[in-house]
Amino acid sequence: MRLFIDFLLGSAKQMLKGNRSYWGWVAFLLACIAVGLVGYASQAGSGLIVTSMRDQVSWAFYIGNFTFLVGVAAAAVVLVIPAYIYQWKPIKEIVIIGELLAVSAITMCLLLVMTDVGRPERAWHMAPWPIGRWNAPSSLLAWDALVLNLYFLLNFAIVTHLLFRAFTKRDYSHRFATPLILFSIPAAVSIHTVTAFLYNGLSARPYWNSAILAPRFLASAFCSGPAIILVVLQVLRRYANLEIKNEAIWKIAELMAYAMFLNLFLFGAEIFREYYSATEHLVFTQYVFTGVHGHDTLVPYAWASLFCSVAAFIIFLVPKTRRNFVTLNFGAFLIYCGVYIEKGIALVIPGFTPSTLGEIYEYFPSRTEVMVTIGVYGAGFLMFTLMLKVAIPIINGSFHLDSRRAAEAGIVQDAATSH
């Protein structure tokens, strides 16, 4: 226990140490949070009237960003699977970064849900009996709240354990960590599946009521999550003395090419069904890609998203462009944009437009919604940055328990004796 307090104090010190660019980045994130707080203050003061949502479009920008970020969180498994199951060495050291990203992304998800609900102070009503009245199994939102919180705790526990053990220079406990790590794989799939089912199960919303919605969610998540990690890894390699092999980055890029193929294939399957059968439900897809009765707010975004995804797929498919870091980063950026639109507004808004009774209300996020979302991203990335600030020195061995303290505590700092 004393050691763990040492770990926490040492971590806090690590967070406060940094060069100019570190503090610049932290200041930028704090500024984002300030913007978010200003936005949220106006929302808390006047109610959700300051958003552009209405009863016909009852979920929008917040929930779109939430959906995108659940995908990012789920994508940590892309790294976990080869690292632990196949013992693929070059990725293994960087899995921690993926899991930290998952923890941060889930935090952003929960913040976005809390900003979206009208009565955040009543969130405890969702807790199981006898505290609240958790309406499971029937409500998918109740399930989603459960799995998201579980996934958060799970990844947080794994990462804390791995880092604390590395801090005390011991190997991680296989009896404790391995089952949790293995469990985190289906858990990651489940958070995104449940989030897809959240939309999927509504008979009133034909745009979402498609059996391949959950597979599409997973496919796009396996593109967007790693896209962020690819960039983060290069930043860390450059500025944080973390040794990351090129082949690890290329391997992730290759996995993303497969994921993007699957994503585009499933998208094509959906488009075929919609346009060939051309039932009255086609109107939602038309609203996204061509506009309906002159209402075409989303059209440029939808085409930009498709263009980004296809271009990124080609970049990641061709080995030459995949291994060139300029094109690789450009591809990661394209994927990020493509999936952000596809799993954000282009998923949520057409579900409501036109409404079930045929009313068309064109939605575009209000300034407050954008400000609050910027604040949430700021908070998430600040959390990610601070955790990385602790994790990186532990991974590369420059931040650890000093040997005198270790001897006092009777810890044998030898990997071989811990299991």
Partner 1 sequence: MTESAKPAPRWGMVVDLDRCTGCQACTTACQIENNVAPSSAETADKGRSIRWMDQLPYMEGEYPNVKMRLLPRPCMHCDHPPCIKVCPVGATTKGADGIVAQIYSRCIGCRYCTTACPYTVRYFNWYEPTWPDDLAQTLNPDVFVRPRGIVEKCTLCHHRLQNAKDKAAAERRDLAPGEYSPACADICPTQAIAFGDLDDPHGEVFSQSRSPRVFRLLEDLGTEPKVFYLREGE
The binding site for partner 1 (CB under 8 A) comprises 46-49, 53-56, 58-59, 113, 116-120, 122-123, 125-126, 132-135, 138-142, 145, 198, 201-205, 351-352, 355-359, 361
Encoded amino acid at 220, one letter: S
Least distance CB 170 / partner 1 (angstroms): 42
Rounded Cα gap, residues 351 and 13, in angstroms: 48
Q: Which is nearer to partner 1, 202 or 318 (CB)?
A: 202
Nearest to 308 by CA among 278, 283, 338, 285: 338
Q: What is the DSSP-derived secondary structure letter of residue 343?
A: T
Phi-psi region of 416 (alpha: psi -120 to 50; beta: other; left: phi over 0): alpha
Q: What is the DSSP-derived secondary structure letter of residue 133?
A: -
Least distance CB 347 / partner 1 (angstroms): 13
Structure tokens belonging to residue 321: 């462009």
Task: For 235-279, give the DSSP string.
Answer: HHHHHS-----HHHHHHHHHHHHHHHHHHHHHHHHHHHHHHHH--
Least distance CB 124 / partner 1 (angstroms): 9
Q: Which is nearer to partner 1, 114 or 383 (CB)?
A: 114
Least distance CB 201 / partner 1 (angstroms): 8
Other CB atoms closer than 10 Å to residue 172's CB: what's the count?
19
Least distance CB 213 / partner 1 (angstroms): 15
Rounded Cα gap, residues 256 and 228, in angstroms: 11
Least distance CB 206 / partner 1 (angstroms): 10
Contact 190, 172 (CB under 8 A): no
Least distance CB 225 / partner 1 (angstroms): 25
Q: Which is nearer to partner 1, 189 or 360 (CB)?
A: 360
List 292's β-bridge partners, or say none: 295
Q: Measured between alpha carbons, how far is residue 331 from residues 59, 192, 310, 336 in Å?
A: 30, 24, 10, 8
Q: Which is nearer to partner 1, 31 or 204 (CB)?
A: 204
Residue with tokens 């282009």: 346
Is residue 292 classed as helix, strand or coil in its secondary structure? strand
Q: What is the DSSP-derived secondary structure letter of residue 49?
A: G
Least distance CB 400 / partner 1 (angstroms): 44
Is residue 358 classed as helix, strand or coil in its secondary structure? coil
Rounded Cα gap, residues 170 and 167, in angstroms: 8
Task: For 60-118, give the DSSP string.
Answer: -HHHHHHHHHHHHHHTHHHHHIIIIIS--HHHHTTHHHHHHHHHHHHHHHHHHHHHHSS
Q: Which is nearer to partner 1, 140 or 382 (CB)?
A: 140
Encoded amino acid at 184, one letter: S
Q: Which is nearer to partner 1, 208 or 313 (CB)?
A: 208
Q: Which is nearer to partner 1, 53 or 111 (CB)?
A: 53
Q: Which is nearer to partner 1, 139 or 160 (CB)?
A: 139
> Widest CA span of the chain, in angstroms?
76
Residue with tokens 């889930």: 106
Contact 369, 52 (CB under 8 A): yes
Least distance CB 121 / partner 1 (angstroms): 9
Q: What is the DSSP-derived secondary structure letter of residue 15?
A: H
Least distance CB 128 / partner 1 (angstroms): 11
Least distance CB 389 / partner 1 (angstroms): 35
